């Protein structure tokens, strides 16, 4: 039986200023062309992305709601009301795939409770692409978000993740605020055992993309500047 509700489309966007159709399939364009209601992380960047996908789209007709870590969960039902009224709604993250390390996951969770069909579209995920290129265990891995800022706490967490990787044969992924990337890499190769492997995946899908896997000992001799560049770190013992 056909539902009278709209669908919730999870619309991936680029990971930087890459032309959209170098990394996105045609289905993303088709979705953006017909959807007028959006739930996004930042309205300005979402509008810029929508325009890059469909330059003829009437921006004034768009109904856009923002969701971020400060959004009250009580506001989510109103954001999805258009779906209940038969309109398709699109979710757009700031970069990559919505719902993965992204506040859009809360919208998706609520949609399921209301019987709204969730449609994930294909697009770049920095987490998966970094794993693909790392050479690490792709059957058992964990994304840990941000590590502690405090040096002592960060060192303890790095050691804990290394131990977990060794015990469970599990790749450990995490990120850092871009202006602290160089300090993070230094912390890793100074804290980890010398034979522990580190993958640095930076500027994924961009012309400046840099992905390299080496041991902690080898990284001490490698010169690379990660300052203010979106980067994923992965370790495997």
The predicted-structure confidence for 132-182, as pLDDT tens digits, reads as follows: 999 999 999 999 999 999 999 999 999 999 999 999 999 999 999 999 999
Taking each helix axis from N to C end, the angle separating 181-191 and 151-168, rounded to the nearest 10 degrees, works out to: 60
Residue range 109-126, pLDDT digits in tens: 999 999 999 999 999 999
pLDDT at 69: 79
| pLDDT band per the 50, 70, 90 thresholds, residue 103 | confident
- pTM, full prediction: 0.90
The answer to whether 159 touches 220, Cβ cutoff 8 Å, is no
């Amino acid at each position: 039986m056909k539902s009278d509700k709209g669908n919730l489309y999870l619309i991936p966007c680029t990971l930087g200023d890459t032309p959209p159709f170098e990394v996105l399939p045609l289905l993303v364009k088709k979705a953006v062309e017909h959807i007028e209601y959006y739930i996004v992380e930042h309205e300005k960047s979402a509008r810029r992305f929508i325009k890059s996908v469909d330059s003829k789209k009437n921006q004034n007709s768009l109904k856009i709601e923002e969701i971020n870590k400060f959004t009250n969960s009580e506001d989510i039902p109103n954001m999805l009301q258009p779906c209940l009224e038969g309109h398709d709604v699109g979710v757009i993250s700031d970069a990559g795939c919505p719902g993965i390390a992204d506040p859009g996951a809360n919208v998706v969770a609520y949609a399921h409770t209301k019987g709204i069909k969730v449609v994930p579209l294909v697009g770049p995920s920095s987490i998966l692409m970094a794993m693909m290129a790392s050479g690490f265990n792709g059957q058992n891995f964990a994304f840990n978000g941000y590590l502690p800022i405090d040096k002592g706490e960060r060192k303890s967490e790095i050691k804990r993740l290394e131990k977990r990787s060794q015990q469970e044969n599990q790749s450990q992924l995490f990120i850092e605020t871009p202006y602290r990337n160089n300090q993070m890499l230094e912390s890793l190769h100074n804290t980890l055992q010398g034979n522990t492997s580190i993958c640095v995946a930076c500027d994924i899908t961009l012309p400046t993309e840099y992905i390299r896997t080496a041991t902690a000992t080898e990284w001490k001799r490698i010169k690379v500047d990660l300052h203010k560049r979106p980067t994923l770190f992965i370790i495997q013992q």
